[in-house]
Structure 1
Amino acid sequence: MLYFREPHAQQDVDGENMPMDWDEPTYFDRRPASSGQVSFCDALTLRDNRAVCIKALPYFIPHNSTRSELALKIIREDKRSGEPCEISLKEDELRALKKHIAQCLSVAEQDEDGQFLVLRTDALPAQVDMSDDAARALGGALDNRAFARRVTQHVDPESLARAFSASVRIGELRSAVTELRQNLNEGKTREDVYQNWCECHSWVFGNAYVARDDQRAIGLGDQVDVMMKSAANGLRDIFELKRPDAKVLIFDKTHKNWYWSSDTASAIGQCHRYLDTLHRVGMQGFDPNHPEYVAYHPRAVVVIGRSQGWNDAQLRALHGLNSRMHGISVMTYDQLLAQCEALLSQITRTADEQDASEDIPA
């Protein structure tokens, strides 16, 4: 069997990318042992001199319900006495050792002794809830005064890691808010721009939701923009994104009242059909492939248009029209941006308070 791998990125079972250097193809002959209970490959000779021979023998333990488990036997033979010494390592022990060796090698590249925080930055953009913003935020985290103070005052590596993680996360959120603001200020109106942004930053919809679903098709011909899982009950709600240049409200001069524009009314009708479909198919799960996706009387949020420069009468009209609808609400992109900024401010304030409470007096 022939496998092709990226030369510097091996995928771990737990999703981690560990750097590897494979200068040439490696041949493995996996064959059953005489006992018939395990299989093995040729041993790797680690050391062979006049006094001792050390080899690493990989073997594979089959399981009925899961894949085969890797184990490794370290065999040390004293050539003078002829006595062998064997140590067997299980797969979880091998993975822990592999990670530790990679970290130690990173420290070995430094010329002087000292205290080091080993951080893998290459995998940050590949995480589910991370994006390229996280990588860009690394510089900001290192330049953060609170983080620098923590580095100089604390020696606990777990505390350092938490401080760095918080700084990176805040930097990512700040970068995402800036990107949304720039998209609006530059007049970008394509729906897919904002749909892609929301898919990368589902936290924008608030702490009431725990995760964005990859599933978007809820029925034949019905595909929602974003579907989110409620933190309270695990049920699904939907978010429909429309163009930011669409008109939200229209004023009736004859009756002196505000009403939904045709674009907004169309989006509300579209959500009405989506909610009917989602409620019907989601009560028992979508299908055998997605039994965990459930919905019961779901709600929908329409994001459409701009409210920058609105007066109090327009803002009250939007609030009033929303309060008289059931299960569907409408918000503008400026309100979405304000929601992002409020959430960022809250997270930043909480992180600063935690940092102040954990500071050690000089």
Structure 2
Amino acid sequence: MSEIKTSAKGVDYADPCTLQIKKRVYSQALLMRIPHDHTDVQDISLKIGRYNIPYGLESKKPKSELTLNNEELDALVRYISENYKPLTLGQGEYINVSEESATLVENFKRLIEGQSDTARMLIENGILSDNVFLAASVIKKRDALIELREKLQEEQPERYWQEWFTRNKWVLGSDFAQIIDERVIDTENIADYIMKSYDGFVDLVEIKKPNGLPFWASTKDHGNYVPSADLTKAITQCLNYIYAIEMEANSTKFTRRIGSRVIKPRCILIFGRSYDWNDEQREAYRILNAAYNQVSILTYDHISERAQNVLGAEAIESVGDDWMQE
């Protein structure tokens, strides 16, 4: 039986348990009983950490750490006790996000958001299944899609949508590896986003607010749907950005500033709504997009459909059809 010790700060703790030792790091779990001032209540907490081994196990420099409080620890113990056996029988029987484990997944998502090292440590040591991390990611994306559909019913400024896409760049597709912090192309041109594509080159994203800017002109031209004046201006702006960034292609100072090279940049323009289009308008959109080699136009409804396709129909709870109205 482990010996219970007391730290200089009055925290009782059990002998730490080494979970795994590798060449450069080791992982360890530590149970603690933490007293509260002015009350007899004491919480049991669990600290899980991965530590470097520059000079052996004496090193306590954390590579990553996660401390679960009493409530989270109870949830984790329940989860493991209820699901460990199904895991040994087959991964397909391991987790059902729609039932009790959903609460744990939400807690896990909150705890490890932005801490991929911690998530990886828990998974590698068998404390949590990688399915939990996947489920947490699905929940986060589902929430983003629900937020998108709700906010499309409201009048939001362009700044709001810029921030939403910053938090949810996954909806733009797998071509984009990251958003580059730098937005300034030159003294006259500032893009919404300069993106680094998966091949290491620069692309652009330009965002206009979804409501109040018509996609099609109010009247047809020779029986054809044509872009509105606002859309034509936005397309022209994208083409000017592309031209400006191509002019900087040979600038060592510019490429060093953005950390990527410039070769044949493309621009995604997010503009307007399309939920109420008829077949003729959808055909006109296809023709319009085909006319540009370096600009691709998407509506907010295209973004919504793309996001749902990424998640899969089963990952999204029904949020009704009201989101389709302006």
Pick aligned residue for 1:207 from 174, 186, 201? 174
Q: What is the deviation of 1:284?
A: 4.9
Q: What is the deviation of 1:304?
A: 1.0
**Is the radius of gyration larger for structure 1 or structure 2?**
1
Q: 1:120 maps to which residue?
A: none
The reply on whether 1:226 has 2:190 as its aligned counterpart is no
Question: Mind listing any 5+ residue stretches in structure 1 that lack a counterpart?
Answer: 1-20, 22-70, 73-87, 118-136, 145-154, 350-362
The reply on whether 1:244 has 2:214 as its aligned counterpart is no
What secondary structure sits across from 1:220 in the alignment?
coil
RMSD over aligned Cα atoms: 3.8
Structure 1's 259 and 290: CA in aligned 2 closer, same or farther, altered over 3 A?
same
TM-score, normalised to structure 1's length? 0.54
Structure 1's 215 and 254: CA in aligned 2 closer, same or farther, altered over 3 A?
closer
Q: What is the deviation of 1:106?
A: 6.1
Q: What is the deviation of 1:301?
A: 1.4
The reply on whether 1:139 has 2:107 as its aligned counterpart is no
What secondary structure sits across from 2:194 in the alignment?
strand
**Deviation per residue, 1:47-79 (Å, 9 max, x gap):** xxxxxxxxxxxxxxxxxxxxxxxx99xxxxxxx
Q: Write the letter of the residue equivalent to 1:170.
A: V
Structure 1's 95 and 281: CA in aligned 2 closer, same or farther, altered over 3 A?
same
Structure 1's 222 and 158: CA in aligned 2 closer, same or farther, altered over 3 A?
farther
Structure 1's 259 and 214: CA in aligned 2 closer, same or farther, altered over 3 A?
same
Question: Mind listing any 5+ residue stretches in structure 2 that lack a counterpart?
Answer: 1-33, 35-51, 81-100, 109-122, 317-326
Q: Structure 2 CA distance, aligned partners of 1:175 and 1:140? A: 16
Q: Structure 1 CA distance, aligned partners of 2:73 and 2:285? A: 60
**Is the Cα contact below 8 Å between 1:285 and 1:294 reproduced in 2?**
no
Structure 1's 94 and 257: CA in aligned 2 closer, same or farther, altered over 3 A?
same
Q: Write the letter of the residue equivalent to 2:105.
A: A
Q: Structure 2 CA distance, aligned partners of 1:274 and 1:92? A: 55
Pick aligned residue for 2:130 from 135, 139, 162? 162
**Deviation per residue, 1:207-257 (Å, 9 max, x gap):** 1211111111111131111222111x2111111111212111126445101
What secondary structure sits across from 2:144 in the alignment?
helix
Structure 1's 247 and 336: CA in aligned 2 closer, same or farther, altered over 3 A?
same
Q: 1:171 maps to which residue?
A: 139
Structure 1's 320 and 91: CA in aligned 2 closer, same or farther, altered over 3 A?
farther
Pick aligned residue for 2:148 from 153, 177, 180? 180
Q: 1:273 maps to which residue?
A: 240
Q: Structure 1 CA distance, aligned partners of 2:193 and 2:174? A: 16
Structure 1's 178 and 296: CA in aligned 2 closer, same or farther, altered over 3 A?
same
Q: 1:316 maps to which residue?
A: 283
**What is the count of residue pairs matched by the alignment?**
229
Q: What is the deviation of 1:348?
A: 5.0
What secondary structure sits across from 2:236 in the alignment?
helix
Identical aligned residues as a percent? 25
The reply on whether 1:299 has 2:289 as its aligned counterpart is no
**Is the Cα contact below 8 Å between 1:210 and 1:230 reproduced in 2?**
yes
Structure 1's 346 and 89: CA in aligned 2 closer, same or farther, altered over 3 A?
farther
337-346 or 247-256, which deviates more: 247-256
User: 1:1-362 alignment to 2 at 5 Å?
Assistant: 89=55, 93-96=59-62, 139=103, 141=105, 157-158=125-126, 160-185=128-153, 187-231=154-198, 233-245=199-211, 246-250=213-217, 252-253=219-220, 255-287=222-254, 290=257, 292-345=259-312
Q: Structure 2 CA distance, aligned partners of 1:208 and 1:248? A: 25
Q: Structure 2 CA distance, aligned partners of 1:106 and 1:141? A: 15
Q: Structure 1 CA distance, aligned partners of 2:73 and 2:215? A: 59
Higher relative contact order, chain-length normalized (CA < 8 Å, sep 6+): 2
Q: What is the deviation of 1:282?
A: 3.6
Q: 1:125 maps to which residue?
A: none
